[in-house]
């Protein structure tokens, strides 16, 4: 086949399956040349995320509104896409003390697929709807369907089900609209181009997806009051490292010594946010709890409310 014929054939392939001409003849390159090709290519995910900022912002605000109204956030995908969703969801409880039900990752094949190949399941469109139904997915919830190619049947059927019941429906893909039309409430396109290894979307597409999920979940948690300044004041103190981090946060923000920090954390059952409010306001634990509750668990709002009472 001539090079010209190859180029003509390429335009009929989905973008994520096309050949990256920069990495052509990759097996003939030196180790340094291969690494340089990869490091140059990995600049693309950052650009892809930047170009999708408007859609990402819309997603964050819409998700936050749903979660404030007792909705939940679900990621769904197969293979690498599914694993990225599960990873992001699993990080929320230790980082932000969320209930494990609040953010959930759904992967085709379930838990075994996290460590074993389950790509054969991506063609079974009926499985994903059942995977959502057993989790009582409803119109109050949010579904983010992750499909690099924009064509994964398992994910597409889940997105269609989500739209049908009027849940907030968001898609993340790495192909332009002419490759796959995804008519969802919010359509996030992370266009990273052909992969260094043709079709291996665990590379640039996966990196861009991980970046976008980091931004989305972290920003939503910020909006929900789980961050003060740039500190994770709702972290779960479940080991020595996190205990030391909690003590450091109390020292940095409230200027309390180690002994006082440990005493506060013990009194509040490890709640950094509640400990900070007590240290900064002088309230007792019952008053601080009530104030946090009336301030929608937002530390900054609670402190503003304390100051208002002092000066009124």
Q: Please list the pLDDT of the chain residue by residue as tens digits (312 residues).
A: 344 444 445 556 888 889 889 898 999 999 999 999 999 999 999 999 999 999 999 999 999 999 999 999 999 999 999 999 999 999 999 999 999 999 999 999 999 899 887 666 776 778 999 999 999 999 999 999 999 999 999 999 999 999 999 999 999 999 999 999 999 999 999 999 999 999 899 999 999 999 999 999 999 999 999 999 999 999 888 899 999 999 999 999 999 999 999 999 999 999 999 999 999 999 999 999 999 999 999 999 999 988 776 545
Token pair, residue 252, equals 């940095």
Question: N- to C-terminal Cα distance for the chain?
Answer: 82
Q: What is the pTM of this model?
A: 0.89
Question: Which residues have CB under 8 Å from 180's CB, separation 6+?
Answer: 14, 147, 149, 150, 151, 173
Whole-angstrom Cα distance, residue 263 to residue 173? 48
Domains of the chain listed by start with CATH number? 45-223 (3.40.50.10490), 240-311 (1.10.8.1080)
Token pair, residue 30, equals 């030196």
pLDDT of residue 5: 45
Whole-angstrom Cα distance, residue 213 to residue 234? 19
Instruction: Point out the residues that are catalytic.
Output: 91, 122
b/e string for 2-31 if b means 16 or more Cβ within 10 A? eeeeeeeeeeeebbbbbbbeebeeeeeeee
């Amino acid at each position: 086949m001539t090079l010209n014929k190859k180029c003509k054939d390429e335009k009929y392939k989905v973008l994520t399956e096309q050949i990256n001409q920069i990495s052509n003849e990759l097996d003939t390159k030196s180790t340094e040349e291969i690494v340089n090709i990869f490091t140059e290519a990995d600049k693309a995910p950052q650009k892809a995320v930047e170009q999708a900022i408007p859609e990402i912002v819309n997603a964050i605000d819409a998700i936050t509104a749903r979660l404030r109204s007792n909705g939940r956030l679900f990621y769904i995908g197969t293979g690498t896409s599914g694993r990225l969703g599960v990873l992001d969801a699993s990080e929320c409880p230790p980082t932000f003390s969320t209930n494990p039900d609040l953010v959930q990752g759904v992967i085709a094949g379930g838990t075994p697929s996290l460590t074993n190949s389950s790509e054969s399941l991506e063609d079974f469109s009926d499985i994903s709807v059942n995977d959502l139904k057993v989790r009582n997915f409803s119109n109050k919830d949010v579904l983010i369907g992750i499909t690099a190619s924009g064509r994964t049947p398992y994910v597409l059927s889940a997105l269609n089900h989500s739209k049908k019941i009027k849940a907030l429906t968001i898609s993340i893909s790495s192909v332009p609209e002419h490759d796959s039309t995804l008519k969802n409430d919010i359509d996030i396109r992370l266009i990273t181009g052909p992969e260094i290894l043709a079709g291996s979307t665990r590379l640039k597409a996966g990196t861009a997806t991980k970046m976008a999920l980091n931004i989305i979940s972290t920003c939503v948690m910020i909006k929900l009051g789980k961050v003060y300044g740039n500190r994770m004041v709702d972290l779960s103190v479940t080991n020595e490292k996190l205990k030391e981090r909690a003590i450091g946060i109390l020292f940095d923000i409230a200027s309390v010594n180690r002994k006082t920090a440990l005493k506060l954390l013990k009194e509040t059952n490890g709640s950094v946010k509640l400990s900070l409010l007590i240290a900064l306001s002088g309230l007792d634990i019952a008053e601080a709890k009530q104030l946090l509750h009336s301030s929608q668990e937002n530390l900054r709002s609670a402190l503003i409310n304390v100051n208002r009472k002092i000066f009124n």
